[in-house]
C-alpha cells in the first residue's frame, strides 16, 4: 500500500516543492514575457518601451500586477456570475496543468507519462471551453462573437497541428515527450519535417490568438473580443493564460522539432552546457518569433484566416503525412 506522502516513489513535500518551483518559474516567465514584448516592439517601432518603473523599467510587470489586483472586479448585471468567474480560472489553470508533462531536461519532468503528447493536445484543446464560457456568460453580443471567432479559429488550426504531430510521431515511434527528443533523426528525416515545422509555427500563432491572427480582438468590429466585459484580476487571469499558452506552445515546438534540451545541431562540444539552459534558450527563440511576427505583419481578415487553415494547411498536412509515411516505408526507416 502506497503511503499518502509517497507519490511516484517521492515524498509528497518534494513533489509539492517541484510543483511550486515550476509554477513560480512559469508565472515569473509570463510576467517578464510581457515586459520583453513591450521592449522588443518598442525597439522595432523606434521607441523606448517601459523605462520609468525600476531600472530599465524592470519593475513594470510587478506594477501592472499590483494595479490589476487593487482594482474592483465588475460583473455585468445580466451576466451568469458562476460561469463568468469560472472561465478565466479554467483557462489559466489549463495553461499551467499542461506543463506537468513538459521535460526541460533528461528525466527532469513532473510526470513522464507514456502518452505525454496526447495529454498536451487534450489540454490545449480544452482551452476552447474557457473562451466559449467567457463569451456566453458575459451576455454581450461582442463578447459572444469574439468567443465564436476564437473557438472556430482554434478548432480549425488544431486539425492541422494534429496532423503535424502525426508526422513527428511517424518518425520517432513514441508518444512520450522524452523519447521524441532522444530519438535520433537522420538528416533526410529532418529535411522532410522542415515544412511541417514552418506550418506548425504559423498554426501556434492562430492557436494562441496572436497577431496576425488576433481576430477575436478585432477593435474595429468587436472591440476586446471574448474578454471585453472582464476587468481587474479576472482580466489578468485571461492575460496570464494567453502568455502562458504562448510559452507552452514555444516549449512544444522545441520538443517536437528543435531537439529539446539537446545541444543545437548535435554539436558534442556544446554538451557541457546544462540541458535546461539549451531548452530555455530555444524556447526563448520561439517566443521571440511571436513578438517579431506581431511587429511585422498586419492582421488577417477572418475569411483569409479560415481559407489558410482549411484550404491550404489541412490538405498540405494531409499530403505530407502520406509523403513522410511513404518515405519511411521506402527507406525501411520506420521506428
Cβ neighbors of 238 (< 8 A, separation 6 or more) are 88, 91, 92, 134, 227, 230
pLDDT in tens, 17-33: 888 888 898 999 999 99
What's 271-310 look like in SS3? CCCCHHHHHHHHHHHHHHHHHHHHHHCCCCCHHHHHHHHH
Cβ neighbors of 258 (< 8 A, separation 6 or more) are 264, 282, 286
Which of 31, 103, 118 has its CA nearest to residue 67? 31
Q: CA 100, 105, 108, 109: dihedral to nearest 10 degrees? A: 10
pLDDT in tens, 174-202: 899 999 999 988 899 999 999 999 999 99
Q: Tell the residue number behind the cell numbers 511550486, with chain if given.
A: 20
Q: Please spell the DSSP secondary structure of 59-71, one letter per residue.
A: THHHHHHHHHHHS
pTM, two decimals, is 0.92
CB-based burial label for 94 (10 Å; 0-12, 13-18, 19+) = buried
* Direct distance between the N- and C-terminal alpha carbons of the chain, in angstroms, rounded to an integer: 38
What distance in Å separates the CA atoms of residue 63 and residue 58, rounded to the nearest whole number?
A: 10
Return the C-alpha cell found at 192.
522532410
In this structure, what are the phi and psi dihedrals at residue 79, rounded to the nearest 5 degrees?
-75, 155
Write out the chain's pLDDT in tens, 335 residues.
334 444 455 567 777 888 888 889 899 999 999 999 999 999 999 998 899 988 989 999 999 989 988 988 888 888 888 999 999 999 999 989 999 899 988 888 888 888 899 999 999 888 889 889 998 998 888 888 888 888 888 889 999 999 999 999 999 988 999 999 999 888 999 999 999 999 999 999 998 888 888 877 766 666 767 888 888 888 889 888 889 999 999 999 999 999 889 988 877 778 788 989 999 999 999 999 999 999 999 888 888 989 999 999 999 999 999 999 999 999 888 87
Cis peptide before 128 (omega within 30 of 0): no
Amino acid at each position: 500500500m502506497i503511503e499518502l506522502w509517497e507519490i511516484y516513489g517521492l515524498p509528497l513535500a518534494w513533489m509539492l516543492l517541484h510543483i511550486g518551483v515550476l509554477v513560480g518559474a512559469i508565472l515569473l516567465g509570463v510576467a517578464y514575457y510581457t515586459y520583453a514584448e513591450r521592449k522588443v516592439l518598442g525597439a522595432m517601432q523606434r521607441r523606448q518601451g517601459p523605462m520609468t518603473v525600476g531600472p530599465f523599467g524592470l519593475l513594470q510587470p510587478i506594477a501592472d500586477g499590483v494595479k490589476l489586483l487593487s482594482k474592483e472586479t465588475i460583473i455585468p448585471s445580466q451576466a451568469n456570475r458562476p460561469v463568468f468567474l469560472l472561465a478565466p480560472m479554467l483557462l489559466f489553470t489549463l495553461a499551467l496543468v499542461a506543463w506537468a508533462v513538459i521535460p526541460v531536461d533528461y528525466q527532469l519532468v513532473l510526470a513522464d507519462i507514456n502518452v505525454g503528447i496526447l495529454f498536451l493536445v487534450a489540454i490545449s484543446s480544452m482551452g476552447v471551453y474557457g473562451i466559449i464560457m467567457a463569451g456566453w456568460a458575459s451576455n454581450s453580443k461582442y463578447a459572444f462573437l469574439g468567443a465564436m471567432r476564437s473557438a472556430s479559429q482554434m478548432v480549425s488550426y488544431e486539425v492541422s497541428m494534429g496532423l503535424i504531430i502525426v508526422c513527428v510521431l511517424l518518425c520517432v515511434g513514441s508518444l512520450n515527450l522524452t523519447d521524441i527528443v532522444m530519438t535520433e533523426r537522420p538528416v533526410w528525416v529532418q529535411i522532410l519535417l522542415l515544412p511541417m515545422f514552418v506550418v506548425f509555427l504559423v498554426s501556434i500563432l492562430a492557436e494562441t490568438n496572436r497577431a496576425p491572427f488576433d481576430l477575436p480582438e478585432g477593435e474595429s468590429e468587436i472591440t476586446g473580443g471574448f474578454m471585453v466585459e472582464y476587468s481587474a484580476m479576472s482580466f489578468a487571469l485571461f492575460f496570464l493564460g494567453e502568455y502562458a499558452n504562448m510559452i507552452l506552445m514555444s516549449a512544444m515546438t522545441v520538443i517536437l522539432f528543435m531537439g529539446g534540451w539537446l545541444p543545437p545541431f548535435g554539436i558534442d562540444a556544446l554538451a557541457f552546457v546544462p540541458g535546461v539552459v539549451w531548452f530555455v534558450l530555444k524556447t526563448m527563440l520561439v517566443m521571440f518569433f511571436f513578438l517579431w511576427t506581431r511587429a511585422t505583419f498586419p492582421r488577417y481578415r477572418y475569411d483569409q484566416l479560415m481559407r489558410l487553415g482549411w484550404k491550404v494547411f489541412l490538405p498540405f498536412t494531409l499530403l505530407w503525412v502520406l509523403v513522410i509515411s511513404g518515405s519511411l516505408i521506402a527507406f525501411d526507416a520506420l521506428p
